[in-house]
């Protein structure tokens, strides 16, 4: 159902959009959404298969997953902050202010 929703929203965004150069970023965003949904679905299935034979406290599982996510981004966000992006191409659609990640701008948006 999520895939169908993403497909419908993506179709409307591309079909009803203007001729502005944002079409590349809309298409890149939709592709990234589909990839992320496939990755998340695979992760859930793998977790269920691996952990089906064990009893684990749900709070401990969620806390451990959150801890690893926090550590992951504590190391990656500073690295992404220093990676310069090209001005053209599909990679440029992923960039903000000429960098792969602009944490200061993200906090401003929050």
Residue 89 falls in which region: left (phi positive, over 0), alpha (psi -120 to 50) or beta: left
**pLDDT at position 82, please?**
87
Q: Do 98 and 84 form a contact (C-beta atoms < 8 A)? A: yes
**For the purposes of burial, counting CB atoms within 10 Å of the CB of 101, is it exposed (0-12), middle (13-18) or buried (19 or more)?**
buried
pLDDT surpasses 80 at 56: yes
Dig out the tokens for 59 from the structure. 């709070």
Helix (H, G, I), strand (E, B) or coil at 99: strand
Residue 109 is part of which domain span?
Answer: 57-110
- pTM of the complete model: 0.49
Q: Do 2 and 51 share a domain, yes or no?
A: yes
- Paired residues of 99 in beta bridges: 84, 96
Q: Do 50 and 97 share a domain, yes or no?
A: no
Q: How many residues does the chain have?
A: 110
Q: What is the pLDDT of residues 13-48, one digit of tens each?
A: 777 765 656 555 777 777 888 888 889 999 989 988
Which whole number is the average pLDDT over 57-76? 91
CA distance linking residue 42 with residue 58, whole number of Å: 20
Q: Do 108 and 98 share a domain, yes or no?
A: yes
Q: Do 65 and 47 share a domain, yes or no?
A: no
Q: Do 41 and 86 share a domain, yes or no?
A: no
Q: Do 10 and 34 share a domain, yes or no?
A: yes
Q: Do 51 and 67 share a domain, yes or no?
A: no
Q: What is the pLDDT of residues 85-109, one digit of tens each?
A: 877 777 777 777 778 788 888 888 8
Backbone torsions φ then ψ of 96, nearest 5 degrees: -130, 125
């Amino acid at each position: 159902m999520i895939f169908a929703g993403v497909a419908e929203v993506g179709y409307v965004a591309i079909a009803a959009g203007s001729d502005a150069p944002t079409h590349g970023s809309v298409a890149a965003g939709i592709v990234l959404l589909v990839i992320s949904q496939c990755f998340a679905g695979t992760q859930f299935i793998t977790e269920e298969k691996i952990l089906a034979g064990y009893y684990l406290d749900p709070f401990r599982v969620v806390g451990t997953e959150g801890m690893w996510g926090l550590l992951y981004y504590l190391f990656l966000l500073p690295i992404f902050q220093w990676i310069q992006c090209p001005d053209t191409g599909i990679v440029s659609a992923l960039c903000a202010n000429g960098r792969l990640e602009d944490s200061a701008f993200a906090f401003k948006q929050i």
